[in-house]
């Protein structure tokens, strides 16, 4: 078919593309609003500001997208492991040759622009996982396969941790969503969620209370149990689980107080009690909440924000960009942005389910998972529901690396999907 | 089986979205502690307005300085007034005024401070300071107010007041905000950027109760206010004040410049007002009053009033005709053949013609000038001649803006052949006999006092001028003066041609058209009188004009004086000019008789003309000043043999 060879009239999913364009445009406007100073009437095209640079990044992204759409769809399939290997190499290289920015050696610097390879490792890892799981006979309920998958995920994580960029490492947890869909035994997510819940409880309440709580819970479970189930083995199992939980809580306590660095510890503690470290992290979170809260229902209007100017809210054009939305466009603006994001995620899942190849489906779920995790953590931290982790809001935050990596991530999937549509139409 | 897990995943997405939206709804809509927190956010932006530059005269005397005053701000939400009546009494405002100000403030914002009263003097503030403790929600902010110790120069200085809505919207680079002060008119507007300095911004940390806790991030984002630069002008305040006193009860303008530098020494626009009137908290009341005044004190006449130059223009005619080669110092013309009347005996040479301001003489000079080309067709010849005339006169800075350092300056009118073509609705439909009134500075010529004083300076310099300007420097003499104010503009008239004209000007003052009392001993004044026709109120009320310079051989001051409706130029205008020149040169007034005579004279336009008319009209406003030269109108007179010009130009 002639249409198929023409990269620009391909069977791109227009709905996804539209959502993408909306998000990028809104993102750029908000970056502009965040750097706008009423004194100097900053132009949105001023190349010395983040807004002007972001526009340039958007321009280069368009070129990237066109490249992705032009190449053959088998390219990504075939070279998945090559990309992965290349990115691992880059991660090692950046440890040696990277520039030290804010204490993390994770950036390559070219003139005034910086590139962070960790951002792109997500894409490569997603491709590698998809490629690996595409092999017939691989099954996640088999321990050996699970181990390989874990290896693919953990290797870049270790390298990124070594470059002192913990926030980016956490993103790799987002592959859990894909793994769940692909057949991860269901007790695993349950254990994971319980662990998170216990972790938070351990932060809020003293250890002793939690121990008592666990004990009471164990007794309750035993009492509720049908009498015929109260075998010695079961009682023993409950006891083991209870003691395991207590050990975990103790471990959390130890981990938070002894393993984590001070600023990381504070970021977590401040979630529980914002008055901790009032001039540091707590202050940032409070400022972010004030900015968002002051937007009320309708917001103060475009460029009319007062709290999100002059770095009152730190990193306001990058990690805290959501504050600008909340302040200038209020709850309605936040509603629109969150709805757009959720719509995009659902659309990706729907498309992923339609894929004919496992490769494309796995990759689609990886895309959804990665974007979801970023949104959840980024917005969550600005409204005080998540610890402060320096990861960007997809398509919104200022920064070439993140815009490029999210666009590449999404458009490789759209390219794979267009192949699927062309196939069905034939 | 596993496909169904997609619903779990979609469910998680939606759940997180919903949880976040709920949280946002709580933060943004339900819980208003955050929005209150924002209004008195822990960071406060404090704008520091720098002191505006002061203005000095050439002898380092202060003309303008700043007095600290207090603006009182009100935050409606915090206001507690136990006794409103007592409060109003203390503030010296009426209850309705209080209500309207508070209404505006509440409309603007309940939690943000708005201006309550502006520019309370130190004394007023001291009076209420203690009492303010009882009234919560009011906050004094120190500010400053322009003060004019010399009480003069109002029109040239302009004034400082709140920025207008239009100016606020039309800014190229957004700098001003609502309520900011900005220079209007005059030097305050011209040099606004240098005078105002640069606003500083300070970020202060405050706790919830609004108590300052020091600077934010150690001042990393603060910008320091840069004070405005002090403007040194070339004005001589003492002479300026003296000229003011001479122009009392008169309408017109007095201008004096130093010929060698082009610096303006005196710039009087009469009637004027005390500049302090427009810099108090009664600005709007006073401004309205001034605007309604039929004598239009707000007009800066030196640069924006256009008059006919009258006989003073004969000086240019004499110079360009000599340069053209059609006039020689010993050329003699009688009164015959000219349609113009004259009161001199006739038979003058050039010197005598200038001295006695002989109309027929210059009629003939102009006629010869216009027809001095090989063309036989009078219509064509007139057009060619007038073009040549226009180009030569233009060199004196007439016909376009001079470029004086004021925001508004009138162009005046120097007619071109095209101008008459248009007026007569076609080329070659007019000739010399239609335009001859130009020869004695009447007809379609329009000129500002600024250009006339520039002419005086040009003649004093014998051939060149520097564009008149007020500025002498910023901070120090010579600093920041635009380079165009050091350029010598040549008139392309040879030095030698100036000499007979200057001789004639000296003669005019010594024993010519000027009143004998104005020939003050020891200043060697040279000058030329003019009487511009003003048919409006009958010729009793012609405008009196004089331009001149002194001393003759080493000119230190060039003067131009317009006195409206004062009749004969040799008396009113020449007397004022002579006294101003004397005061400047001798630093004292010895011609006390003349001084008393001038101060006693009253040439205010007859009140019935001003007040009988429906809208207040001053003669100059309607006849000469504000209107652009309406093209066809003057021609109606010029086409008829009995032109108004003849009777009007009595040619002193």
Q: What is the pLDDT of residues B18-52, one digit of tens each?
A: 999 998 998 888 877 665 555 444 566 677 778 88
d(CA B638, CA A75): 92
pLDDT digits (tens, 9 = 90+) for B127-181: 887 777 777 778 787 778 888 988 899 999 999 888 887 887 777 666 777 677 8
Q: Which residues of A touch B33 (CB under 8 A)?
A: 293
Residue A259 is given by DSSP the state I
Q: Do A310 and B174 touch (CB under 8 A)?
A: no
Instruction: Select the more confidently predicted residue: B634 or B223.
Output: B223
Query: Which of A231-235, A273-277, A322-326, B48-52 bottoms out in mean pLDDT, i.e. has the lowest?
Result: A273-277
Q: What is the pLDDT of residues B563-620, one digit of tens each?
A: 988 888 788 999 999 999 999 999 999 888 999 999 998 888 766 555 444 444 444 4
Query: Which one is the CATH code of B237-648: 3.40.1410.10, 3.40.710.10, 3.30.200.20, 3.40.190.170?
Result: 3.40.710.10
Residue for token pair 């503009």: B489
**How far is the alpha carbon of A40 from chain B, nearest alpha carbon, in Å?**
6
For residue A180, the enclosing domain spans 2-185+260-425
User: Residues 338 to 367 of A: which have CB under 8 A from any B CB?
Assistant: 338-339, 341-342, 345-346, 349, 352-353, 365
Residue A20, pLDDT score: 94
| Alpha-carbon dihedral angle through residues A334, A339, A342, A347, given to the nearest 10 degrees | -150
- Taking CB atoms and an 8 Å cutoff, what residues of chain A touch B203? 310
Q: Does residue A148 lie in a domain region?
A: yes
Tokens 């909340």 label which residue?
A: A326
**pLDDT for B626 beyond 60:** no
User: Is A103 part of any domain?
Assistant: yes
Residues B68-122 have pLDDT tens digits of 888 888 877 777 777 888 888 888 888 888 888 888 877 776 666 777 887 787 7
Predicted confidence at residue B450, as pLDDT, reads 94
Cα separation, B549 vs B547, in Å, equals 7
| Whether B29 and A353 lie within 8 Å, measured CB to CB | no
| Assigned domain for A331 exists | yes
The beta-strand segments (E) located in B505-566 are 526-532, 543-550, 557-563
Q: Residue A381's closest chain B neighbor by CA? A: B20
Top pLDDT among A111 and B315 is at: B315
pLDDT of amino acid A38: 56
Q: Which pLDDT does position B145 carry in this prediction?
A: 84
- Cα(A355)–Cα(B6) distance, integer angstroms: 13
| Element (DSSP H or E) covering residue B525 | none
Give me the residues of A, 302-331, that contact B with CB < 8 A. 306-307, 310-312, 326, 330-331
- Rounded mean pLDDT, A71-76: 86
End-to-end CA distance of chain B: 116
ipTM: 0.87
As a whole number, the mean pLDDT across chain B is: 83
**Cα distance between residue B526 and residue B551, in whole Å:** 7
Q: Report the gap between the CA of B158 and the closest CA in chain A (Å).
A: 26
Which one of A293, A313, A344 makes the best mutation probe of the B interface by having the most chain B beta carbons within 10 Å?
A293
* Structural domain contains residue A69: yes
Q: Determine if the pTM surpasses 0.90.
A: no
Q: What confidence tens digit (pLDDT) does each residue in B376-418 have?
A: 898 999 999 999 999 999 999 998 899 999 998 999 899 999 9
For residues B435-452, average pLDDT: 90
Longest dimension (CA), chain A: 78
pLDDT band at residue A1 under the 50/70/90 scheme: very low
Task: Give chain B positions within 8 Å (CB) of A38.
Answer: 174, 177
Kindly tell me if the per-residue pLDDT of B633 is higher than 80: no
What percentage of residues in chain B have a pLDDT greater than 90?
39
Q: Does residue B267 surpass a pLDDT of 80?
A: yes
Q: For the segment B190-215, what is each residue's pLDDT rounded down to a tens digit?
A: 999 889 888 877 777 665 455 566 66
Chains A, B: CB pairs < 8 Å: 116
Taking residue B44's Cβ as centre, other Cβ atoms within 10 Å add up to 14
Quick one: pLDDT at residue A407?
94
Per CATH, the homologous superfamily of domain B42-61+150-230 is Penicillin-binding protein 2a (Domain 2) (3.90.1310.10)
* Residue B546 CB neighbours (<10 A): 37
| Structure confidence at residue B84 (pLDDT) | 82
**Considering only alpha carbons, which residue of chain A is nearest residue B27?**
A293
Which residues does residue B46 pair with via DSSP β-bridges, in sequence order?
A: B202
Of A180, A293, A338, Cβ closest to residue B27? A293
- pLDDT value at residue B454: 95
The band of A339, judged by pLDDT with boundaries at 50, 70 and 90, is very high
For residue A266, the distance in angstroms to the closest alpha carbon of chain B comes to: 20
What residues in B contact A295, CB-CB < 8 Å? Answer: 28
Interchain CB distance below 8 Å, A385 and B16: no
pLDDT tens by residue, A84-141: 999 999 999 888 877 776 666 777 777 666 778 888 899 999 999 999 998 888 888 8
A425, pLDDT greater than 70: no
| Residue A292 to residue B28, Cβ atoms within 8 A | yes
Q: Which of residues 283-302 of A touch B (CB under 8 A)?
A: 287, 289-297
Backbone angles phi, psi at B475, to 5 degrees: 80, -55
Q: For residue A58, with 0-12 CB atoms within 10 Å meaning exposed, 13-18 middle and 19 or more buried, which class applies?
A: middle
Structural domain contains residue A235: no
CB B307 within 8 A of CB B530: no
CB neighbourhood size of A313 (10 A): 29
Residue numbers in A near B48 (CB within 8 A): none
- Provide, as residue numbers in chain A, all residues whose Cβ is less than 8 Å from the Cβ of B111: none
Cβ contacts of B3 on chain A, cutoff 8 Å = 353
- Nearest residue in B to A40, CA atom: B174
Q: Token digits for B15?
A: 């759940």
- pLDDT level of residue A2 (50, 70, 90 thresholds): very low
Q: Which residue of B has its CA nearest to A176?
A: B9
| Domain presence at residue A355 | yes
Q: Which of B6, B34, B203 sits opposite A290 (nearest CB)?
A: B34
Q: How many domains does chain A have?
A: 1
Strand order through the sheet with B263-270: B263-270, B252-258, B557-563, B543-550, B526-532
Q: What is the pLDDT of residue A103?
A: 63
Of residues B84 and A365, the one with the higher pLDDT is A365
Q: What is the pLDDT of residues A375-415, one digit of tens each?
A: 999 999 888 888 878 788 999 888 888 899 999 999 999 99
Torsion, CA B430, CA B436, CA B439, CA B441, rounded to 10? -90
* B24 in A contact zone (CB under 8 Å): yes
CB contact under 8 Å between B221 and A379, yes or no, is no
The minimum CA-CA distance between B196 and chain A, rounded to whole Å, is 15
- The answer for residues whose C-beta is within 8 angstroms of residue B123's C-beta and 6 or more apart is none
pLDDT-based confidence at residue B227 (cuts at 50, 70, 90) = confident
* Burial tier of A1 (Cβ tally within 10 Å: 0-12, 13-18, 19+): exposed
* CB-closest option in A177, A341, A385 to B9: A177
Cβ-in-10-Å burial (0-12, 13-18, 19+) of B45 comes to: middle
On whether residue A237 sits in a domain, the answer given is no
Instruction: Give the phi and the psi of residue B199 in degrees, each rounded to 5.
Output: -70, 140
């Amino acid at each position: 078919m002639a249409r198929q060879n023409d990269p620009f009239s391909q069977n791109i999913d227009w709905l996804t593309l539209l959502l993408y364009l909306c998000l990028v445009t809104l993102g750029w406007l908000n970056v502009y609003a965040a750097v706008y100073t009423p004194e100097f009437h900053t132009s949105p095209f001023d190349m010395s500001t983040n807004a002007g640079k972001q526009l340039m990044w958007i321009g280069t992204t368009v070129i990237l997208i066109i490249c992705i759409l032009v190449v053959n769809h088998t390219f990504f399939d075939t070279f998945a492991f090559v990309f992965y290997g290349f990115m691992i190499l880059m991660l090692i290289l950046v440890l040696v040759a990277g520039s030290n920015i804010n204490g993390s050696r994770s950036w390559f610097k070219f003139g005034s622009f910086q590139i962070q390879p960790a951002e792109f490792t997500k894409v490569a890892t997603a491709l590698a996982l998809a490629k690996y799981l595409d092999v017939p006979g691989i099954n996640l309920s088999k321990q050996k396969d699970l181990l390989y998958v874990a290896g693919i995920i953990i290797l870049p994580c270790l390298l990124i941790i070594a470059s002192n960029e913990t926030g980016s490492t956490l993103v790799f947890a987002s592959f859990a969503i894909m793994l769940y869909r692909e057949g991860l035994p269901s007790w695993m997510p349950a254990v994971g969620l319980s662990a998170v819940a216990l972790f938070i409880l351990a932060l809020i309440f003293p250890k002793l209370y939690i121990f008592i709580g666990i004990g009471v819970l164990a007794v309750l479970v035993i009492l509720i149990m049908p009498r015929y189930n109260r075998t010695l083995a079961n009682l023993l199992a409950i006891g083991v689980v209870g003691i395991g939980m207590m050990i975990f809580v103790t471990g959390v306590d130890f981990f938070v107080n002894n393993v984590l660095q001070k600023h990381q510890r504070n970021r977590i503690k401040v979630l529980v009690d914002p008055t901790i470290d009032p001039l540091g992290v707590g202050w940032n979170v409070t400022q972010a909440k004030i900015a968002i809260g002051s937007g009320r229902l309708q917001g103060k209007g475009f460029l009319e924000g007062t709290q999100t100017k002059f770095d009152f809210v730190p990193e306001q054009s990058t990690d805290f960009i959501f504050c600008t939305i909340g302040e200038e466009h209020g709850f309605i603006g936040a509603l629109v942005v969150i709805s757009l994001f959720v719509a995009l995620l659902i659309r990706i899942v729907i498309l992923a389910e339609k894929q004919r190849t496992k490769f494309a489906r796995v990759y689609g779920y990886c895309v959804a998972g990665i974007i979801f995790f970023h949104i959840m953590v980024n917005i969550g931290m600005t409204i005080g529901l998540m610890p402060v982790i320096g990861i960007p809001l997809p398509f919104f935050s200022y920064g070439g690396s993140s815009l490029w990596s999210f666009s590449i991530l999404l458009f490789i999937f759209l390219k794979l999907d267009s192949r699927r549509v062309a196939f069905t139409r034939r | 089986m596993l496909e169904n897990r997609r619903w779990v995943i979609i469910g998680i997405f939606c759940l997180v979205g919903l949880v976040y939206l709920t949280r946002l709804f709580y933060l943004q809509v339900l819980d208003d502690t955050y929005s209150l927190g924002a209004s008195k956010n822990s960071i406060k932006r404090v704008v520091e307005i720098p002191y505006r530059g002061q203005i000095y005269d050439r002898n380092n005397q202060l003309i303008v300085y700043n007095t600290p005053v207090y603006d009182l701000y009100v935050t409606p939400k915090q206001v507690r007034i136990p006794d409103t009546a007592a409060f109003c009494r203390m503030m010296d405002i009426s209850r309705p005024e209080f209500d309207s100000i508070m209404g505006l403030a509440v409309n603007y914002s309940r939690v943000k401070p708005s201006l309550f009263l502006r520019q309370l003097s130190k004394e007023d503030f001291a009076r209420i300071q203690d009492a303010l403790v009882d009234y919560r929600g009011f906050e004094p902010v120190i500010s400053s107010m322009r003060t004019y110790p010399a009480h003069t120069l109002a029109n040239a200085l302009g004034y400082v007041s709140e920025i207008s809505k239009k100016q606020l919207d039309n800014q190229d680079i957004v700098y001003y905000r609502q309520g900011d002060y900005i220079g209007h008119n005059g030097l305050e507007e011209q040099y606004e950027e240098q005078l105002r300095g640069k606003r500083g911004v300070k970020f202060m940390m405050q706790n919830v109760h609004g108590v300052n806790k020091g600077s934010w991030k150690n001042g990393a984002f603060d910008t320091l206010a840069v004070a405005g630069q002090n403007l040194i002008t070339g004005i001589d305040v003492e002479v300026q004040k003296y000229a003011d006193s001479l122009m009392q009860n008169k309408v017109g303008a007095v201008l004096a410049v130093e010929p060698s530098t082009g610096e303006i020494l005196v710039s009087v626009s009469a009637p004027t007002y005390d500049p302090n009137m427009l810099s108090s908290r009664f600005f709007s009341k006073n401004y309205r009053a001034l605007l309604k005044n039929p004598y239009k004190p707000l007009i800066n006449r030196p640069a924006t009033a256009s008059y006919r130059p009258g006989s003073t223009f004969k000086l240019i005619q004499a110079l360009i005709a000599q340069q053209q080669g059609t006039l020689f110092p010993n050329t003699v013309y009688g009164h015959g053949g000219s349609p113009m009347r004259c009161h001199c005996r006739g038979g003058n040479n050039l010197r005598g013609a200038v001295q006695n301001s002989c109309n027929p003489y210059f009629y003939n000079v102009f006629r010869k000038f216009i027809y001095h080309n090989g063309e036989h067709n009078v219509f064509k010849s007139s057009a060619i001649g007038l073009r040549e005339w226009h180009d030569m006169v233009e060199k004196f800075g007439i016909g376009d803006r001079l470029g004086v350092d004021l925001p508004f300056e009138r162009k005046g009118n120097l007619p071109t052949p095209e101008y008459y073509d248009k007026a007569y609705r076609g080329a070659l439909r007019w000739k010399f006999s239609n335009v001859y009134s130009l020869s004695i500075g009447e007809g379609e010529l329009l000129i500002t006092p600024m250009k006339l004083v520039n002419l005086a300076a040009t003649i004093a310099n014998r051939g060149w001028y520097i564009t008149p300007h007020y500025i002498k420097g910023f901070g120090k003499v010579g600093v920041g003066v635009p380079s165009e104010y050091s350029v010598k503009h040549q008139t392309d008239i040879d030095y030698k041609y100036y000499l007979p004209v200057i001789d004639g000007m000296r003669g005019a003052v010594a024993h010519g058209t000027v009143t004998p009392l104005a020939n003050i001993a020891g200043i060697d004044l040279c000058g030329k009188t003019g009487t511009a026709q003003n048919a409006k109120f009958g010729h009793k009320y012609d405008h009196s004009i004089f331009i001149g310079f002194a001393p003759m051989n080493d000119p230190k001051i060039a003067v131009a004086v317009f006195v409206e409706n004062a009749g004969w130029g040799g008396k009113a205008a020449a007397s004022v000019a002579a006294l101003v020149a004397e005061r400047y040169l001798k630093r004292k007034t010895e011609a006390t008789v003349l001084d008393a005579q001038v101060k006693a004279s009253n040439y205010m336009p007859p009140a019935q003309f001003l007040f009988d008319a429906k809208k207040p009209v001053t003669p100059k406003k309607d006849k000469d000043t504000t209107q652009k030269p309406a093209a066809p109108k003057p021609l109606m007179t010029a086409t008829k043999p009995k032109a108004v010009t003849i009777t009007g130009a009595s040619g002193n």
